[in-house]
Structure 1
Amino acid sequence: MYRVMLIDDEPIILEKLQNVIDWEKENCRIVAVADNGAEAMNLCRDLKPQIIFSDIYMPLMDGLELAEEIKILLPESLVILISGYNEFAYAQKAIEAGVFRYLLKPIRAGELSKILAEAKSRLTERRQATEEKIRLQNLIKKNLPGLREKFFVKLINGQLGPEDLKEQLAFLEIKLQGEWWGTILFHLDNYPQLAQKKKEAELQFYQFHLLELIKKRYTAPSFLYSLIHRPAEIVLLYGLTEPGEEKKLYETTLFVQDEILKADGVSFSAGFGGLYPELVALERSYQEALLALEFKVWTGANALIPYRDIENSKSGRLLHHREQETFSSLLRGGNREKILGFIQQIFTTLKTANYLHMPKSYLLLTVLDLVNQIIRSLLEFNGSLEEIYGPAFDPVREINNFETLDQLQTWLEKMAWQAVAFINDHKQKVGRNFVEKAREYIEENFHDPDLNLEKVADQVYVSSCYLSRLFKEVTAYSFTEYLNRRRVSAAEKLLLTTGAKIYEIAEAVGFRDSHYFGIVFKKITGLAPSDYRDQIRSNPFA
Structure 2
Amino acid sequence: MIRLIIAEDEALERKALRSFVEAEFSKSIEVIAECATGRTFFETALELNPDLMLVDIEMPEMSGLEALNLLRENGLSGEALILTAYSEFDYARLAVKYQAADYLLKPVSRRDFSESIRNSMERIDKKKQTAPGRNQQSQERELIWRLRHPGPEFRTNLEELSAILKMKTTPFYFLSLPLAGRSGRPLLLSLKTRFDAMGYDCYGACISGAADLILQSRKGDINPEKIMKTLTNKIKNRVVVSEPLLLGPITDFRDLVREIAEKSVLKQDSAWVSDSLSRVSQERSLGDDLVEGRLHLIQGKLTNLFQYKKAVKSLGEAISYALELLTIIDRRLISLFATRFQSLNPDFLTLQLKNAHKIGEVIEILETLLCDVSRNIRQTHRTREQRLVEDIRTFLEEHSGDPPSMQEVSDHLKRSPSYISRCFRQVTGMSYKEFQIMHRMEMAKELLLTPGVTVAEVATATGFIDPNYFSKAFKRETGLSPRAYADGESYK
Query: TM-score normalised to the size of structure 2?
Result: 0.27
Tell which has more relative contact order, 1 or 2 (C-alpha 8 A, sep 6+).
2
Point out the structure with max Rg over C-alpha: 1
Query: TM-score normalised to the size of structure 1?
Result: 0.25
